A and B are shown apart, each in its own frame.
Chain A
Amino acid sequence: MTHDEDRDKHGPDDRGHFGPYGGRYMPEALMAAIDELATFYDKARVDPDFVTEFERLLREYANRPSLLTEAPKFAEHAGGARIFLKREDLNHTGSHKINNVLGQALLTKRMGKKRVIAETGAGQHGVAAATACALLDLDCVVYMGEVDTQRQALNVARMKLLGAEVIPVKTGSRTLKDAINEALRDWVANVDDTHYLLGTAAGPHPFPMMVRNFHKVIGAEARAQMLDQVGRLPDVVAACVGGGSNAIGIFHGFLDDPSVRLVGLEPAGKGVDTDEHGATLTEGEPGILHGAFSYLLQDSDGQITEAYSISAGLDYPGVGPEHSYLKDIGRAEYRAVTDAEAMEALRLLSRTEGIIPAIESSHALAGALKLGQELGPDGVILVCLSGRGDKDMDTAARYFDLVGENA
């Protein structure tokens, strides 16, 4: 893996810009740490020892490569198109997040830092970060919006069992964006011994590039598996987009295949015509949040507005800058999926294929159902099944009324 392949022709430039997006809109106090991170990462990614160790952990610890599974009965509801699932739900810790945390935790060791902080929404990234820290003997503190600690109580217990400290964030909307704010405040005060293990392909450069590169394995595997198992590339690759890390990881396997459409599915919540959604790319405007220039949900004064989704992992008012760029140049399309559509897709995949997907990933599945109708019976769709639904059982049980007196 060479430097040029890694930074690759798709960007970013040396200052972390994807077209006009990305960059480093950060307090000066953090610039030394960000420069240090970029320097260590630049060295590590071309260091055979680092690459070998990262790949070994992915293989022997995270259970990669993840499977490619066809979902024929689910696809009957998609106009007869064929649907294939990239099974990131089968990774250790139950989602794609393990790829990035292993990479960044290894890097933390290289930097000689002993403490890791992370933000989490649904808890997938927090659990993954706590896992990697347990494995690699790092102290781990996870910031989690208070609202999310209630929605995802089991994941809080998981993180604690893994030895992490979970700090409920009580400021702002008490969700993911506020957890990131609080993590940044911690980082600026403790930057000497602390690495901020950001969980999505957002934030200041080099995070969007680095997180993407750690997740590129999703797309690389999926492309090879499609050719091997199906004998052709998909017509469409569909992935859910909150911050956008699983989507950017799988999209990158197909960016150079012009015949493959890349479709990101954002949370429309209760509908994009309401105030309660998280459809940043389809409804937002470019601005600056958490270190990067990218699409944002904001009001006419530039105040960040609260995002909403039934999925705690998607209710983020920003998005990774590379997605903003891919949208503007037309290489990827972004659509919004409502809570109701996502939950229906969750139930459908569970019943037809015996796979309970995460609510996040269910947005991609719902998108695939519509895309299948549009493509017709000859269509082939690859869906990134980014995580499993176990963590969402409480939400699902309440949504479908599966427990209690009326169940």
Chain B
Amino acid sequence: MSSLTQMFADCRAADRAALIGYLPAGFPTVEGSQQYLAAMLDAGCDLVEVGLPFSDPVMDGPTIQAAADTALRNGFRVRDLFTTVESISAAGGRAVVMTYWNPVHRYGVDAFARDLAAAGGLGLITPDLIPDEAEDWMAASTAHGLDRVFLVAPSSTEERISMTAAASSGFLYAASIMGVTGARDAVSSQAPQLVERTREHTTLPIGVGLGVRSGPQAAEVAAFADGVIVGSAFVNAVSSGEAAVRALAAELSSATHRTPVTA
């Protein structure tokens, strides 16, 4: 059983959804991102998604674009990703990496998988790599024991959901809306329907992301999904400092319990 599979099983046993928090490595600096990611895990995240800042993040809205720009301007290099993941795994935390595909291709798909596994990373979320083009990654992830988290979207056909689920491991990332990343006021009505459709094709845990920023929204998602994924809200919280990051993680985490905890 992979570490992610175990995590989702534990959460399910506790009748709650997993809280998955995103922050780009190197944002605002390499040391800063390590500090904030550790705080996110300490304050309630079950898993962190460590973003690899990319020059052309076409699936990201203004918040994460700006964070990636900041990280790159502050000198982020791909090698810093691995040290960041290592800082998390060394402290007993769980980390996956979210990355556009070109930096992985450039590094060498097998070498990237090798170095990520060596750093204690658990897998990759790949927003612009679909299973159709993922032959190298399928081989490398298998060779190095990493999970493959592909995305499904409200527009995905049944055929594509089935194919994508079959290629995935660890969990599936359900994009709750048709759009880019960014905090939104309401949870999309498309999300529960997408999760329901996806469950027809797989027993993999399903994490829902895009647009979740508050406790009430997290609770709404936790009611129908196995994981609540929060990105831009954590990026925004960083500008207010570690206490704000911790407070957000704690608020979201308590909202992931399906049966309210009594004191």
Contacts and interface: CB of A to CB of B under 8 A. Distances in A.
Interface stretch (A233-241, A301-309, A348-356): A301-309
B32 interface: no
A300 interface: yes
A300 B108 CA distance: 11
A188 B156 contact: no
B59 A302 contact: no
Interface residues of B, number: 41
Nearest to A33: B155
A43 interface: no
B101 A171 contact: no
Contact of A32 (B56, B132, B160): B160
A27 B105 contact: no
A188 B59 contact: yes
A69 interface: no
A189 interface: yes
A132 interface: no
Interface in A225-278: none
Interface string B157-179: 10010001000000000010011
A26 interface: yes
Interface in A29-52: 29-33, 35
Nearest to B59: A27
Contacts of A192: 178
A27, A289, A290, A293: which has the most chain B beta carbons within 10 Å? Answer: A27
A105 to B, nearest CB: 23
B238 to A, nearest CB: 20
Contacts, number: 115
Contacts of A5: none
Contacts of A178: 56
A22 B145 CA distance: 29
A31 B155 contact: yes
A181 B56 contact: yes
A23, A177, A302: which has the most chain B beta carbons within 10 Å? Answer: A302
Given A188-B179, A191-B178, A303-B54, A28 B164 contact: yes
A302 B103 contact: yes
A364 interface: no
A289 B160 CA distance: 23
B127 interface: yes
Contacts of A32: 155-157, 160
A297 to B, nearest CB: 11
Contacts of A33: 155
A31 B62 CA distance: 23
Interface of A: 15, 23-33, 35, 171-172, 177-178, 181, 184-185, 188-192, 285, 287-291, 293, 296, 298, 300-305
Q: Which 8 A-B pairs have the closest CB atoms?
A: A302-B106, A29-B153, A302-B103, A189-B179, A32-B155, A303-B55, A288-B102, A302-B102
27 contacts: A15-B132, A25-B128, A25-B133, A26-B130, A27-B58, A27-B127, A28-B160, A29-B151, A29-B156, A31-B160, A32-B157, A33-B155, A188-B178, A188-B180, A189-B178, A189-B180, A191-B155, A192-B178, A288-B100, A293-B133, A296-B102, A298-B102, A302-B54, A302-B104, A302-B106, A302-B107, A303-B103
